[in-house]
Structure 1
């Protein structure tokens, strides 16, 4: 890649120096040397690839570009040939940049998995490479460890952060008999896990295979574009050769005259305007997008986005903020204020590392509440916590925590509190009860409800996509169905698919592609990477997105602002329109000049003017996209 950048820079330098020398009427050898530099470095890769193609008995655009430049050299149009080679080398550099992404995505994904595991052997924890671990072995996990292999918990309880695989925003409480997956994170308790799959069969490895397969399929579709190279290149070469041979052999025309006409034909048929029409428009659009905080990883994705008629969204971190917040404080005790309830809850939770505890403390800080001291903190993993605050024991827990008590029906307010938690669960919220125990009396004081907050701009973006003609908007998430359906109703999507593993997300995306032809997938997590690769255009969020999602995506919203999505779609459609106009101009000019050469004997200077005129016209038309504007609000 560095070598290609250097060659493009040297080609451009030679072209600019040659232009300046001609304009300033400098010594002829200066322009000749400058253009020679552009010819050597601009045509090197094309010549090498063209020769390789000839050895395989094929002719491609690479060889035609070099021959067109040499034809321009023979008839004295050095600047035109140098410009052609510069654009040619620039296009090749951009293509090679795009092709390197697949392997980078795989490398980023592999970094999520540890290369060693602490395996129990004869009662001792021994660190072993994953390749040495067998099915049935038991490994140990401590808080903060990343799970090295798929397995089943045999001892211990903990909350596991599975967002890398499922996208679920809240860590999942697990105990004996439940599965854990490689690449996820153990957050709280100590675990002993029995291995159920070898390293080569782990869920994370299967995700890697999904990405490779999806990107390979996309590359096969991309090759369809290259099928025009062979007939066009062969056609131009055949017509040029016939333009020399037929007049000389059958009409006894002087060779010099026939050769001059053939070189004029070569210049007229040279696809310089065709070549520049694409980078002029696409690079301008990419630059316009970059100014608005989005990165297109290649012109093919910019063009493909214009065909999109369905958009699939991930939930966590995409339509939502990706972090749990306290969204509701409710009280059952009339004499108690919300702030007082939150103070007591924060007092108990200040000693906990649970994600809900952190959200509670954050809410107390935002309200500028003074958190009292607590004593005797105790936690029941996966259920709740308790501590003594101001002389009373405060219990905070889910329904399982209180249902484990004997005679829980004697808790004052229990029926009302239980009904509230069940209602909140149906709304997609995670809720806990706050119960005070004092002098043998137990009373439900109120409840705390938590949720992953919706992005402020999410509803606006969905509405704009509909105005742009998107036929179907789908939510794909690994989160639970109640949460997903609640978010789907809020933002107004057409369909919700919940509780999906990465492979199931790919299946859903592929079904959308079959139905609508072109689909964009918007996500930010590792669990989205395979779906991003399987979609027609994968779009990732830049700030919150994982390395894997950023590498697998075709478009990155670097500002992490979903409102740039409608802009990207509108920009891609404007680019497609510009490309259609440019191609019409370029091919019309070529056809007109070729026709005039044969019918009216168009002289070389007019062919050069026509060729350069069409080239400048398509370039200016493409550059208009630099100032493309689209209201996102």
Structure 2
């Protein structure tokens, strides 16, 4: 059993099969929480797990027996030890230089992840794969339903052949299905849940037999079992939508060590390992390409339909498919903390965080079921007592109302929709930490966005190559020669541009970084300097034309580096952190939805304004973290519901202050931890998609509640009028539950 010490107590984890909705989890929680020594209980319908925190003196076998008595199978989770190698990020550079511009490299210290717990979640999925893969008729509910159906058919045949024994045949057929139901009802009542669906079903079936409606009682029991089976199948579909993500990661990986390649389990990969990914293979872990280039099919993780070409120094994700080129990848995250594991973990945690609507329905159902029992009793007793009605007729109607009033459809209406939405979002890289977040997103009226790494890619690229004395090709060629071996962001931008243009880079001799000025070397026998305009002007006179051009580029928010070859100004390169490809479209989608947008950035006014003008978004620049937090507060004071989007440490206070904090994936861990939601793959357009998902979900929940209560109200009226009886009543409950679940599963469709 997975049992670990936690604080003053201990923790035990179990796999629990047979749960279909929140009502099941509540029954188990109520039963286990009253057991001696139990301090806390957490039951996850989605993960099919139960976690118990106890004082060490608890009788765990007795707890297992209690849960089994409620009709669920329980199996202790096997403890899995997972080791995690420490991962440090060291930047190695041959030389460093500054082109008269500031670069703040903020690296968030990684939190200590609970690797042990993560491994148990993965183990739960693996141990449940066989159960999930079984056909419905192999499960306990399936076998009981088939047996009950067979007994009902046999009773009809016997009753037709020997009418005298028909009542007894139907009574036996009813008992086949009712005994397990009644046993669960008694156990739930003893455990503190007297008004369970099983108890209502038992009372209705026994009452029908007493009223000589044995045939109808047996039919109702069978239909109830069919309904439970359909609930389980539908709930399983929602569960599989997340659990299937774990199957994307390959079982093995080819690790390179000391020039040799050997196959190891992918689950044992640790940060720093180098793996070989052959064409057509799935990538076994999150990592960075250190050799090779290829097209990567990321559809399973990002939802992108077209493969993305990636090369050295670019990031790849676990579970994506390598195209036609061999890659060497350095793993950056242990198996328990890769993209897929993180998605699964966050979604499962989120599905246990209830939305306000779900909490209301949960509270309502606690009073609703006893209320239904009271109404059914009144219908059964009042007309015969005070209006001279037939006892048999009105007791029959009261029993039917008991079945109509079963709260399953109502209870599942909200969590089913939320679970499906969280799953659909996760498949597109939209992670939401709970139903409350999902519900609030649909009310957003203002979005404040960071610039660097959110609206922009987070790294500069060359936007202009300017020729003064040498052709553009030579300007880029000489500049790239100086930057070989440097890890500076601007150096990377120049080298990337040379690679894109397939520019041959000549060797440089005597490369030397000049702190705060630039870099110098000898290239093709000539002294070459690349640095800031100010440093260049001290070495060589800049013409009026060159000065004007540089000033114009600076006004566009671009950083300019001047190249001097020999004793003449050869040219210049302008660089800027450019907007993400979908940034403009993403902002337009928000505006079209009537949502106000504003950029909040710590960058300088000139650069921020240039980007803001390009994207068409108002700008607040030169901000400290506390300034961003203050502005979010000001927007909320205006009556706006505010979402803050960012990716850095300096965004954390504002993310926490907003109604919904959204972290852009790939950002600092502190931003991801502070935020309520995360856009895993950094698409600005996903903000609008996330909001649309919320609105679609809330509309689905309203539909579900209408279906659940509407059908019950309809059959309540028809039952009192004598139009419908017991078996239509159970069909109403079962039908409503199935309709609500299937309607919720529509949310699994792709987000437009």
Among candidates 480, 489, 495, match of residue 613 of structure 2? 489
- What is the match of residue 444 of structure 1? 569
Pairing 1:453–2:578 present: yes
- What is the match of residue 14 of structure 2? 3
Aligned partner of residue 594 in structure 2, secondary structure = coil
Q: Distance in 1 between matches of 2:521 and 2:649?
A: 38
Q: Distance in 2 between matches of 1:561 and 1:476?
A: 18
CA drift of 1:538 comes to 4.0
Q: How does 1:37-186 map to 2 (within 5 A)?
A: 68=200, 71=203, 77-78=220-221
Query: 2:354·2:435 contact (CA, 8 Å) conserved in 1?
Result: no
- What is the match of residue 21 of structure 1? 147
Among candidates 707, 710, 716, match of residue 594 of structure 1? 716
Query: 1:377·1:388 contact (CA, 8 Å) conserved in 2?
Result: yes
Query: 1:72·1:78 contact (CA, 8 Å) conserved in 2?
Result: no
Pairing 1:430–2:588 present: no
Q: Distance in 1 between matches of 2:192 and 2:658?
A: 31
Pairing 1:476–2:487 present: no
After superposing the two structures, state which structure 1 stretch, 81-90 or 373-382, moved more: 81-90
Q: Distance in 2 between matches of 1:391 and 1:24?
A: 94
CA drift of 1:337 comes to 0.7
- What is the match of residue 395 of structure 1? 529
Count matched residues: 485
The 3 A distance-change label for structure 1 pair 360 and 519 is same
Aligned partner of residue 563 in structure 2, secondary structure = strand
Among candidates 602, 609, 617, match of residue 731 of structure 2? 609
Query: 1:314·1:475 contact (CA, 8 Å) conserved in 2?
Result: yes
Q: Distance in 2 between matches of 1:71 and 1:386?
A: 90
Give the RMSD, CA atoms, in angstroms: 4.6
Higher RCO (CA 8 Å, separation ≥ 6 residues): 1
After superposing the two structures, state which structure 1 stretch, 80-89 or 221-230, moved more: 80-89
After superposing the two structures, state which structure 1 stretch, 258-267 or 452-461, moved more: 258-267
- What is the match of residue 348 of structure 1? 482
The 3 A distance-change label for structure 1 pair 624 and 424 is same
Q: Tell me the TM-score normalised to structure 2 length.
A: 0.54
The 3 A distance-change label for structure 1 pair 482 and 603 is same
- What is the match of residue 464 of structure 2? 328
Pairing 1:313–2:444 present: no
CA drift of 1:67 comes to 5.2
CA drift of 1:598 comes to 4.6
Stretches of structure 2 that go unaligned for 5 or more consecutive residues are 1-11, 20-47, 49-71, 74-135, 156-171, 208-216, 243-349
Q: Tell me the TM-score normalised to structure 1 length.
A: 0.63
Q: Distance in 1 between matches of 2:644 and 2:374?
A: 45
Q: Distance in 1 between matches of 2:701 and 2:14?
A: 30
Query: 2:365·2:407 contact (CA, 8 Å) conserved in 1?
Result: no
The 3 A distance-change label for structure 1 pair 314 and 45 is farther
CA drift of 1:608 comes to 1.9
Q: Distance in 2 between matches of 1:42 and 1:582?
A: 27
The 3 A distance-change label for structure 1 pair 366 and 613 is closer
Q: Distance in 1 between matches of 2:355 and 2:699?
A: 25
Q: Distance in 1 between matches of 2:533 and 2:599?
A: 29
CA drift of 1:421 comes to 3.9
- What is the match of residue 256 of structure 2? none
The 3 A distance-change label for structure 1 pair 616 and 219 is closer
The 3 A distance-change label for structure 1 pair 581 and 358 is closer
Q: How does 1:180-579 map to 2 (within 5 A)?
A: 228-229=364-365, 231-232=367-368, 235-236=371-372, 238-240=374-376, 242-243=378-379, 261-290=397-426, 292-333=428-469, 336-399=470-533, 401-402=535-536, 408=538, 411-413=540-542, 416-438=545-567, 443-467=568-592, 469-493=593-617, 495-515=618-638, 517-542=640-665, 544-579=666-701
